[in-house]
Structure 1
Amino acid sequence: MGLEDITAKAKSFLADGKVQDALKSEKAEDVSDNILESVSGAVKKVTGGKFDEQIDSARDKADKAVGTE
């Protein structure tokens, strides 16, 4: 299975209505908030605060894609 096959399967999976509903649920919001906050905090620590604004922006964009807020 090549990268193109994996990409096609992922697109198909994400297009499913049930998957979209799950991604827009309150539970997904809570889980994604925790993950995004942990990851952004770790990246900020590694970069020594040099890219905090860019990291926050990326975190906010990802947060809008998953969950209810």
Structure 2
Amino acid sequence: MGFLDNLKAKLAPAKEKVGDLAQQHGGKIDQGLDKAARTVDQRTKGKYSDKIVSGTQKAKDAVDRLGHKDGGGTPPPPPAS
């Protein structure tokens, strides 16, 4: 077994745990991401708004993928605002 195979084997339980947490607390994670994005946008006086929105959306998509266990089908719908 190579180094990367060993690493993947050791990280598999952590990935499962993260997926469980993302599934259970996805809404809270999304709220935290929104709050962080607003704070950064205010501190930068809107200079990087487009990049902040893009990065926030990518982070939310990653959380959705982690929380979606079966890997197929459609991810859960976004929470209503």
Normalising by structure 1, we get a TM-score of: 0.66
* RMSD (Å), alpha carbons: 2.3
| Percent of aligned pairs sharing the same letter | 26
CA distance in 2, matches of 1:45, 1:34: 17
* 1:44 equivalent in structure 2: 41
Q: Structure 1 segments of 4 or more deviating over 3 A?
A: none
Relative CO higher for 1 or 2, CA cutoff 8 Å, sep ≥ 6? 1
Contact 1:28–1:66, Cα closer than 8 Å, also in 2: no
Native 8 Å contact 1:24 1:66 kept in 2: yes
For these two proteins, the number of residue pairs brought into alignment is 57
Q: For structure 2, list consecutive stretches of 5 or more residues without a partner in the other structure.
A: 1-6, 65-75
The separation in 1 between residues aligned to 2:49 and 2:57, in whole angstroms, is 12
CA deviation after TM superposition for structure 1 residue 19, in Å: 1.5
